[in-house]
Amino acid sequence: MVDVVESIISLISSFSYLGIFVAAFVETIFPPIPSEMIFPLAGFVSFKSDYSYFQIFLMAFSGALGSTIGAVLIYFLSYRFGRVAILKIGKYLLVNENKVKKSEDWFEHYGVYAVFLGRLAPGIREIISIPAGIAKMNFTNFFVFTFAGSLVWSTLLVFLGYAFGNSWVSLSDALSDFFPIFFAMLILCIGIVAIIYLIKRKRK
């Protein structure tokens, strides 16, 4: 874990916006590397580099763009080759059928909003592009919702990492445990609001 943290810090420190772009891109196509670690570390680097708030936001923006490009790659692979081929490829990236089924259920439940909400949900965000591609979701909608969700996620985590400053390294493990619980509650709240909105709209 320490080696991974140091590697990410080194990458972002050396290449700044390009570094977080690459790290986020790799995290998206290789799920075992958690975004809950990458983005707060970008905030930590911003803290050490004495970045302005605008520069910190640019770090978050670059990370969101990297995540989006990675998600687009997965989307097109899923669109082109389908579920069976993706599962064959995914086993080398620790993406199994249970995870894909979970993302498919999520997509079926939330419809077009699944991509945006999925980008905010740990365990879903890395693979929500698969059911979107298989279902041949409109690409423009996919791109917009993916980038919007990724930007919210990356901005929150980058600024959180900046706020923790020097404490980030020692708190990284604790935060990794905290994030899934926090964002599960966040997604639950968003889901309830979305369902209420859709019910009211249907009645009208």
Q: Is the pLDDT of residue 93 over 60?
A: no
CA–CA gap between residue 62 and residue 16 (Å, rounded): 9
Name the average pLDDT for the chain.
76
Binning pLDDT at 50, 70 and 90, where does residue 40 land? confident
**Domain range list for the chain:** 2-203
Gap between the Cα atoms of 107 and 132, Å rounded: 7
- For 49-88, b where at least 16 C-beta lie within 10 A, e where not — what string? eebeeeebbbbbbbbbbbbbbbbbebbebbbeeebeebee
pLDDT at 14: 82
Q: Is 201 exposed, middle or buried (0-12, 13-18, 19+ CB in 10 A)?
A: exposed
Taking only the tens place, the pLDDT of each residue in 132-184 is 888 788 899 899 989 998 999 999 899 988 888 766 555 555 555 555 555 56
Is residue 164 within 8 A of residue 40, CB to CB? The reply is yes
Taking only the tens place, the pLDDT of each residue in 1-27 is 456 667 777 888 888 899 899 988 888
Q: How many CB atoms lie within 10 A of CB 29?
A: 17
pLDDT at 18: 92
Q: Which of 113, 40, 115 shows the shortest CA–CA distance to 71?
A: 115
Please name which of 5, 9, 36, 31 lies closest in space to residue 20, comparing C-alpha atoms: 9
| pTM exceeds cut of 0.85 | no
How much is the average pLDDT of 68-83?
A: 84
Residues sharing a CB contact under 8 Å with residue 159, sequence separation 6 or more, in sequence order: 43, 56, 60
Res 193: pLDDT? 60
| Rounded-to-integer distance, Cα 132 and Cα 186, Å | 22
pLDDT score, position 126: 72
Please give the residue that has the higher pLDDT: either 173 or 118.
118
The residue behind tokens 């990675």 is 70
Percentage of the residues of the chain whose pLDDT score is greater than 90: 13
